[in-house]
Amino acid sequence: MTDKSMASLTQEQAAAEAAELRPQLIAWGKQYYDADTPKVEDDVYDRAYARLVALETAFPAIVTPDSPTQRVGGSTKSDLPKVVHDIPMLSLGDVFSIEELQEFDERLRGNVADDFDYNCELKIDGLAISLRYENGEFVQGSTRGNGQIGEDITANLKTITSIPQTLSRPLTIDVRGECYMPKAAFLALNERREAAGQAPFANPRNAAAGSLRQQNTQVTADRKLATFMYNIADYEPLNTRTQSGLLDELAELGFTTNPTYQVAHNMTDVGDYIEQYQGQRSELPYGIDGIVIKVNTLPLQRSLGATVKDPRWAIAYKFPPEEVEAKVLDIEWTVGRTGIVTPTAVMTPVALAGSTVARASLHNPDYLTAKDIRLGDTVLLHKAGDIIPEISQYVVAKRPADAEPYVIPTHCPSCGAELVHLDEEVALRCINPRCPAQLAEGMNHFASRNAMNIAGLGPQIVAQLFDRKLVDDVASLYRLTNDQLLTLDKFGEKSAQNLLTAIDNSRNNSLERLLFGLGIRHVGAKAARSIAAEFGDIGSLMTADSESISAIDTVGGIIADSVVTYFASDQVRELIDELRAVGVNLTYTSGAETAIDTEGQFAGQRIVLTGKLQELSRPEATAWLEQHGATVTGSVSKKTDLLIAGEAAGSKLTKAESLNVPVWNEAQLQAAMAETK
């Protein structure tokens, strides 16, 4: 792609350049919109697209019907039902500098007689969605698709707690907004995918898009998606006539809206808003890739109208990518608890997006090979989705003359066993059950809160136990003595006794905690509980076949096969015998589910949790409230009966106070729980 100015181009030259750009942009667009697997950075696509727009604007005769500039977003997937948008869902035009933004303002004001304000909003890095309500009831949700026709994703959207099923008023409306994956949920998802040998998602936007297009709604629910709604197809049913008022009214109806919006009276205000949030970008709990500036008056928006794909009354200012150079000093390979061996680039420390970065995951051998990263390379480093340090490419001009292609290891860096690929995984895996690195990571998982819950047994202590050869598997934890623990760094009588007590208490856990703690591939906490409840004891489970295990609700064939394979191992059977010998409970003792309380003080209440709880985890509090008849939702509205606020409660607390919703702290909840007991 050339950087020649439009004035120096002939129409033939412009047509030739555009002809090169279109197929490349179409291919990139399919990877981004349809396959959710982008092959280039957003900025690369945006710049190429902007160049094509400039060419076609300067030379209108070269525009072709199939040009990416003539259609919105992606195509529609054939395996999902189609939804026709009665009022099209348009995309936004982009600008990349304050000067271009100023030109947009001057052009708009030149066509409007009266003065007007803008509303500035954060550009959420997610997937555009449309929600249809009839008489206040949620009836259909869809993607934007090509702007005219989208994909029906109603069932998956119903799993997202921030989407109200019933509005506070019986309106018939189409509301538009963004579905996104919070940064914390994105990190957790990629950790699970890499632990399972799957390729990680490139960024939260693609993770959200892939989650919404799942056939299994439980997968969508588990991925903790969220939404911000910001537009409506037809504002006539609402009371407001401004964009800022629209956001307030949507919140009153029960939707989650982003509270960071700001009315701007001039371009100085717009510039201040951009500067503020470009600086705060890395601190937000969700990804943004720019700022959206909209004419604030809704009737004026309507009169200004739109082009074939962009509204004339709005523009997106795209943040420039924050990218720095770093030198690759080494590539380290680490072994996770499931045996997956992961490469990590070790680099010269550099400042990036508010933190110092010296390491970046290279995910798996295929990724490393595709990027062609070599020792000694200078690479361009950015944070994917403002979260994960990621190498975009090496700098060709700075590659050392003697740099050779990196050789992927064939043996485990911890135990020396031969590495293998399983089930066509992208990951490289060590399958030696006695691999020291796996044993240490497995013990950390075994002791974790949702597994055996051994308080005080963290990674540093586990590392010491293995270094001093005090343990060699999880069963040996139960043979530790006070004298042995006193040999550990910074361990006194009290800390040794506390850890021994925690280990001893864990012997009595119900079977599902042990099953989860063993780290059986694909078996999470929920599946472990279902399996333990069905079979009752470890002996019955160890003799069960795949068919009987997969017959359990929520447990499929993949999990069942994994359980059967796990217990077929002689080493595993020896471990179970050792656990039995040291007195670990091997039966299901949690009992049947307690009936939901339909008459207590929380029965029928709509409750929202926000902020950080100190004594309870969010899942524990949610489970207890639901067991006692409450409905726990993710957004505050006039229908909310109670907000429980922990530390650092933010916009939800502010909104609850403005709506006079009762607010409790964690201590009040605990007091109510104790009283209920």
- The residues, ordered by sequence, that sit 6+ positions from 210 with a Cβ below 8 Å of its Cβ are 36, 201
pTM to 2 decimals?
0.56
**Cβ proximity of 230 and 178 under 8 Å:** yes
Which pLDDT score, from 0 to 100, does residue 110 have? 92
In angstroms, the CA 610 to CA 650 distance is 8
In angstroms, the CA 191 to CA 198 distance is 10
Residue with tokens 């304000």: 117
Task: List the beta bridge partners of residue 94.
Answer: 316
Domain 82-318 architecture = 2-Layer Sandwich (3.30)
**Cβ proximity of 133 and 295 under 8 Å:** no
Element (H, E) at 403: none
Question: Phi and psi of 373, rounded to 5°?
Answer: -80, 135
Which pLDDT score, from 0 to 100, does residue 78 have? 47
* Identity at 442, one-letter amino acid code: G
Element (H, E) at 595: none
**Cβ proximity of 480 and 471 under 8 Å:** yes
Return the structure tokens found at 569: 């191992």
Which pLDDT score, from 0 to 100, does residue 1 have? 42
Ranges in the chain annotated CATH 1.10.287.610:
6-70
**Cβ proximity of 279 and 319 under 8 Å:** no
Element (H, E) at 50: helix 42-58
Return the structure tokens found at 603: 């029965």
CA distance between the termini of the chain:
70
Which pLDDT score, from 0 to 100, does residue 251 have? 95
Q: Quote the CATH superfamily of domain 6-70.
A: Helix hairpin bin (1.10.287.610)
Ranges in the chain annotated CATH 1.10.150.20:
436-581
Element (H, E) at 142: strand 137-143
Q: Which of 600, 92, 634 is nearest to 317 (CA)?
A: 92
CATH of domain 436-581: 1.10.150.20
Block means of pLDDT (10 residues each) for the chain, length 677 residues? 67 86 80 60 74 83 79 57 89 91 94 94 94 95 90 92 93 96 88 75 83 82 92 94 96 95 95 92 88 97 88 92 89 86 93 82 90 95 78 93 94 87 77 78 89 91 92 93 93 92 93 92 86 92 92 83 85 90 92 63 88 78 82 82 87 87 90 79
113 exposed, middle or buried (CB, 10 Å; 0-12, 13-18, 19+)?
A: exposed
In angstroms, the CA 222 to CA 227 distance is 15
The 3-class SS string of 318-353 reads ECCCCCEEEEEEEEEEEECCCCEEEEEEEEEEEEEC
The string of DSSP codes covering 62-83 is: G--TT-GGGS-S----TTS-EE
Ranges in the chain annotated CATH 3.40.50.10190:
606-676
Which pLDDT score, from 0 to 100, does residue 677 have? 59
Residue with tokens 């039902």: 81
Domain 606-676 architecture = 3-Layer(aba) Sandwich (3.40)
Give the count of beta carbons closer than 10 Å to the beta carbon of residue 357. Answer: 19
Handedness of CA 159, 162, 168, 174 (dihedral sign): negative
Q: Quote the CATH superfamily of domain 323-430.
A: Nucleic acid-binding proteins (2.40.50.140)
In angstroms, the CA 512 to CA 451 distance is 8
- In the three-class reduction of DSSP (H, G, I as helix; E, B as strand; rest coil), residue 585 is classed as coil
Task: List the beta bridge partners of residue 632.
Answer: 607
Active site residue 677: no
Active-site option among 82, 123, 309, 327: 123
